[in-house]
Structure 1
Amino acid sequence: MKALGDMLIQREPFSEIVIGNTAIVRAMVESGVKVVTSYPGSPTPEIAEAINSIKKEERPFYFEFSTNEKVALEVAFGASINGYTSCVFFKSVGMNVVADSFVQLSMMELPGGMVIVIGDDPGANSSQNEQDNRHYARLSYTPILEPKDAQEVYEMFLKAVEYSKKLRSPVILRLTTHTAHFKQKVHFGSYVPSDLGLPIFNVKKNGPYIPIANNVPVMKRKALEKLSEWGKISEEFAHTSKNNSKRGVITAGLPYLSLLDVLGDNVEKVDILRLGMVYPLPRKAIIEFLKSHEEVKILEELDDFIEQYVKSIAYEEGINTKIIGKIDLDDWIGEYTPEKVKIVLKKVWPDLVYEPHKKVGNIRVIQRPPQLCPGCGHRPVFYVLSKILSKDDISVADIGCHTLGFLEPYEVGQVLLSMGHSTGTASGLSLFNKTRKVVAFLGDSTFFHAGLPGIINAVFNNHNFTLVVMENGTTAMTGHQDHPGRKIRIRNLLEAMGVKHIWEVDTYQIDKLEEVLKQALDTPEFNVVIAKHPCMLKFTRERRRKGIVKVPQMSVTNKCTLASVCITKFACPSFQRDLEGRIYVNKDLCIGDGSCIGVCPSGALEFEKFEKADNTESAGDLK
């Protein structure tokens, strides 16, 4: 079997079992995309993994991780107006970061075409909300395609590029968590390499590109004219199953597949209109569908986006079909998995819900709360702060692995809005605050992404709080992508911005870490602690790839007095209790990092002794 990278750039057609995120990369290759940009965020990181599986010198397009989503979008825009087909991808809330530039795109001529891949997240599997980015499409006059599975992810990307280049306009390909990770056998076409070609940027021919008062009416008219053309194209993506039923369902994307599961043998008792383009909607197909049914159910995840449009069309056309949208608040929340769709459909047409003869009994699944990895360098920071902060002090969280500090037993980080918000929010919390200490957190990736303006503001306006920059050398939460910290030292930037009080400390040095944090919290003006330690999940994975199979793990000696600090306060998941209440180290979890040694009040933790082999690292090597 070929390696993934070789397979993605092979010339001949082929079929392979892949996820939607991987299928997109083959579509990029086949469609002649020349520039791809991104800021990592779930559920889209595997797109980058697939791109990086292709050797850089053999990759048929340029790829970069940009500083943030807005910059990524602007790089892709610049390439497109220069005539190169481009693509940018990011997660759901990344749309908020790009919005300032994104809303202008539909008014611009994009000769190269531009596809914006969004990973929306119904169910908030890896996001702080269930944001429905279909609303951005309407706000910006931008068409949006929504595939149902991995095969359609590939096919719709090809169509998106084709029409985007034809209309010289941006188009959104909206994935959700399940379509991004949908795995199936996908049938791919052939790949014919193409030359880069000459840059064609021409303001007089393709402009204007300056949205000022005099130009905006002309530019907006052009955007609306293109939107009308997209409306005609949307009819191509409408698929109707006709069973001559009086009842019909209008749906799109993954909910369509869930609906098929729920209907089972009853699928022939209802007609289905499946939409491939959810903005603008295929007006003709919807009118025809409504006129031929007495009742129509709108089945869609999250907001009533399609429902509002369908009801509006019915009103304008004088159609009296009963249109059933969302029934109650539960219909607005969560992923439309088969289990969810079953509940939703039962509220309207319980007779259509297929009940298999053999029912599976209820299975009790014990909840497992998210937690920091064994050896995580963030853990000592939260452990120390949970000791030295009073119950009245204020701590402000940010986006990253370190958000988990909010959970027990640390309970550090009480407020969260978005990436980089912590410095601005902490500044507001510090005002008129004479008795309560304020501490905020930033990951090193977020520091570069969105943290700098808040820091500059804190220096400029003399706000009084402590900022802890959690530096682990990678964008850990989304799969260990690079960030500018590889080339730019955080301390140098802080000094250049005028921060007077800066400490750097390795978080495994717990006594020094506690001393530094106390000094910082007692400093009566803005200050920064750079809490450093490599991401140990990344570290151990890299060592395993090099054939290093074992490290000296921790053991609990007979000095243990069952104070349980390792479990109840430090909370490393490697420490567990046996049936008799004794504490032991789970060897499957322990990575032998030794960060726990300094927290045991009885000195009962030590490295186990074993004879070192050639492919074994010592504890010293780990550090």
Structure 2
Amino acid sequence: MEKIGDMLIRKKPFQEMVMGNTAVVRAMVEAGTRVVTSYPGSPTPEIATAINSISKEKRPFYFEFSVNEKVATEVAFGAALNGNLSTVFFKSVGLNVALDSFVQLGLMNIPGGLVIIVGDDPGANSSQNEQDNRNIFRMSRIAVLEPASPREVYQYYLKAAKLAKQESIAVVLRLTTHVCHARETVSFGSFSGLISPHRVDFSTENGPYIPIAALALEMKRKSLAKMSRIMAFAGEQGLNTVIPGHKTRNLGVITQGLTCRSLQDVLQGGDAGPDILKLGMIYPMDTNDVVEFLKAHNQVLILEELDDIHEKEIKALAFDHGISVKLLGKNNDENFIGEYTPDKVLKVLKDVWPDFVKHHESSEQDLYSDSPVPVPPRPAQMCPGCGHRSAFHAVKKAVGDNDITVADIGCHTLGFLPPYEMGQVLLCMGASPGIASGLSLFNIQRKVVAFIGDSTFFHAGLPGIMNTLLNHHNITLIVMENGTTAMTGHQDHAGREISIESLLQGLGIKHIFSCDTYQQSTLIGHVKAAMAIEGLSVVIAKHPCMLKLTRAQRKKSGFVPRHVKIDDAMCSRSHDCVELFGCPSFVRHPDGSVGVNHDLCIGDGSCRQVCPEKAISIDS
């Protein structure tokens, strides 16, 4: 059976059912991309998985995980200045980290071309918010293409690469969660198999590249002059398309991306439907296409997820051109929230055109109604054997009820949930040392403890730690070290090469404690000792990610799964294993007895020391 990596570098054209995140990698190959960088984050990490499925010796481009999104953007930009087509990808809130560099890219002449893949997350499926990055793209004056399907992900990357190289600019390919993860049969083109050498052609004659006050405004003028050419590109490439409706010619909808797919799902099978203008290039908007569409209809609905960006622009456009069309948009707060899935789109249509959508009350549309069967809530869980669970169980015993705990981004964010309830405030990656420092000011009665993961430590945590040292803040920092970027799929981070403990010592931190999280009593003692110290103290709570470890073990020959068992005669039914330790492998039966779900249990034994009756043992 052919491996995914070999498929992605086939020389001849082929068809294959793939997810959007895989389709874009084949597009990178065909476009002649030479440098790709990233910091992992959902919904985009499968792009890296697909890249890593191609062996390094056969991979037609350089790829790296950088320490954060800002650095990843800068590396890709630098490579593109040398004349290499480059790409950087990250998640929605990753753009916040990259922003200081990102907002400058629209001013720059980038000879190799730069494609920036941003995985936006309407619905906050895997993010702390559902920010609409289209606002940032417009502020930065960077062209944006938005595909609606895996097929378009492939096609639009090729077009984005062409535009980026043609105009020597940065171009954003905006993906959303379900476009990243959807699967579709895609027809791919050919790949010559020839890999040109990496270029090293940087020249200041292509600049200027120093946006000081004397040059910045002229650089902006050049950037604005490119916009008309970029807008023309949308027309030349057919990025904006009109999908004819049926009979109801006076109604129209302007939409984009996955929202268009949802609209088509809702309208499928109906005997009437509005015309649809699907925008493929969402910034800059081709005003000619929009004006023509507005003139041809009596009523037009602007259907877009999250913010009313297109709605405001199109209303202004209609006013400027004196077009007497009724424009409909967001008319309640709920329309600014969540993904525009078919059920959401159907509700919007019923609200604006109630008579028109009456036929969608038929039984087939029950697919989009709320399920009559109640679904019990399923809280997020740390994996069986997770070292973070053991850490939180110990830390909870060391921290006082009145003390303050500060969370950070990672698997360990789940410590906020019962039964651990560790982490009372959270902003973004790497913010915990700074927030904790602020909470420690004028605070002599309540200890402040901050958590941070090892990947986040390198990503964005170090500045806050150094600030704590500089200003002599009084906090205890617990570094949750599991050796990988576990939350997004076990990607490498700088800890592979750099010892956290040595780095902290190099910063001059004197009070550093370290132990495996399975050593519960030792960890409790370390946390208590650290909290008693005035100033910055650090506890490194180590244990390898057990999901990654057990996956590796299962691949080895002779692997025999292990589980724990409970001695019913010894069990006092105190339920510490369920209520305080919280491993999902345990099952509390109606009669109060506790069982073990062998489908979940990995037999690591971390639970044994939490049982007051020592009723848990390894089932040999």
CA distance in 2, matches of 1:423, 1:591: 34
1:480-504 CA distance string (max 9 Å, x none): 0001101100001101111110000
Aligned twin of 1:616: none
8 Å contact from structure 2 (residues 291, 318) kept in 1: yes
1:543 to 521, 529, 553: 553
1:310 to 305, 310, 314: 314
1:285-342 CA distance string (max 9 Å, x none): 1101111111111111111111111111111111121111111011011111111111
8 Å contact from structure 1 (residues 377, 532) kept in 2: yes
CA distance in 2, matches of 1:551, 1:523: 43
SS of the counterpart of 1:285? Answer: helix
Aligned twin of 1:45: 45
1:408-464 CA distance string (max 9 Å, x none): 111110101000000000000000001101000110000000000000011111000
Cα distance, 1:223 vs. partner? Answer: 0.7
CA distance in 2, matches of 1:197, 1:390: 57
Aligned twin of 2:422: 412
SS of the counterpart of 1:111? Answer: coil
8 Å contact from structure 2 (residues 563, 601) kept in 1: yes
2:538 to 523, 528, 535: 528
Alignment of 1:298 with 2:299, yes or no, is: no
Residue identity matched to 1:115 = V
Residue identity matched to 1:16 = E
Aligned twin of 1:617: none
1:447 to 457, 469, 477: 457
Instruction: Return structure 1 stretches of 4+ with deviation > 4 angstroms.
Output: 358-361
8 Å contact from structure 1 (residues 507, 531) kept in 2: yes
Cα distance, 1:237 vs. partner? Answer: 1.2
231-240 or 63-72, which deviates more: 231-240
Cα distance, 1:351 vs. partner? Answer: 3.4
CA distance in 2, matches of 1:389, 1:14: 59
Aligned twin of 1:202: 203
2:396 to 380, 386, 389: 386
* CA distance 1:432–1:256, shift in 2 (3 Å): same
CA distance in 2, matches of 1:547, 1:439: 43
Aligned twin of 1:230: 230
CA distance in 2, matches of 1:366, 1:311: 43
Cα distance, 1:222 vs. partner? Answer: 0.9
Aligned twin of 1:430: 440
CA distance in 2, matches of 1:388, 1:447: 23
Aligned twin of 1:191: 191
8 Å contact from structure 2 (residues 397, 524) kept in 1: no
Aligned twin of 1:257: 261
Aligned twin of 2:215: 215
Q: 1:198-597 residue pairs with structure 2 within 5 A?
A: 198-203=199-204, 205-235=205-235, 236-243=238-245, 245-266=249-270, 268-353=272-357, 354-358=360-364, 359=366, 362-557=372-567, 558-597=569-608
CA distance in 2, matches of 1:87, 1:356: 46
Aligned twin of 1:621: none
Q: How many residues of Structure 1 are paired with residues of Structure 2 in the alignment?
A: 608
Aligned twin of 1:618: none
8 Å contact from structure 2 (residues 516, 542) kept in 1: yes
SS of the counterpart of 1:350? Answer: coil
Aligned twin of 1:137: 137
Aligned twin of 2:63: 63
Cα distance, 1:525 vs. partner? Answer: 1.4
CA distance in 2, matches of 1:443, 1:63: 24
CA distance in 2, matches of 1:240, 1:175: 21
Task: Report the TM-score when normalising by structure 2.
Answer: 0.96
Residue identity matched to 1:284 = N
1:187-222 CA distance string (max 9 Å, x none): 00000224125421110x201000001111211111
SS of the counterpart of 1:58? Answer: coil
CA distance in 1, matches of 2:199, 2:64: 21
* CA distance 1:31–1:547, shift in 2 (3 Å): same
CA distance in 2, matches of 1:414, 1:228: 49
SS of the counterpart of 1:266? Answer: coil
CA distance in 2, matches of 1:117, 1:65: 14
SS of the counterpart of 1:580? Answer: coil
8 Å contact from structure 1 (residues 263, 352) kept in 2: no
Cα distance, 1:548 vs. partner? Answer: 4.8
1:223-247 CA distance string (max 9 Å, x none): 1111221122233311112346111
CA distance in 2, matches of 1:267, 1:123: 31
Alignment of 1:97 with 2:101, yes or no, is: no
Q: CA RMSD in A?
A: 1.2
* CA distance 1:548–1:278, shift in 2 (3 Å): farther
SS of the counterpart of 1:17? Answer: strand
8 Å contact from structure 2 (residues 145, 281) kept in 1: yes
8 Å contact from structure 2 (residues 34, 198) kept in 1: no
Cα distance, 1:584 vs. partner? Answer: 1.1
- Which 5+ residue runs of structure 2 have no aligned equivalent? none
* CA distance 1:270–1:218, shift in 2 (3 Å): same
8 Å contact from structure 1 (residues 474, 483) kept in 2: yes
1:3-33 CA distance string (max 9 Å, x none): 1111100100000000000000000000000
8 Å contact from structure 1 (residues 597, 603) kept in 2: yes
Cα distance, 1:136 vs. partner? Answer: 1.3
8 Å contact from structure 2 (residues 82, 200) kept in 1: yes
8 Å contact from structure 2 (residues 34, 62) kept in 1: yes
Residue identity matched to 1:245 = R
SS of the counterpart of 2:213? Answer: coil
Residue identity matched to 1:20 = G
1:523-554 CA distance string (max 9 Å, x none): 12110000000000000001112235423311
Aligned twin of 2:614: 603
CA distance in 1, matches of 2:498, 2:558: 31
407-416 or 573-582, which deviates more: 573-582
8 Å contact from structure 2 (residues 405, 448) kept in 1: yes
Aligned twin of 1:3: 3
1:353-376 CA distance string (max 9 Å, x none): 323435466232211000111000
Aligned-pair identity in percent equals 56
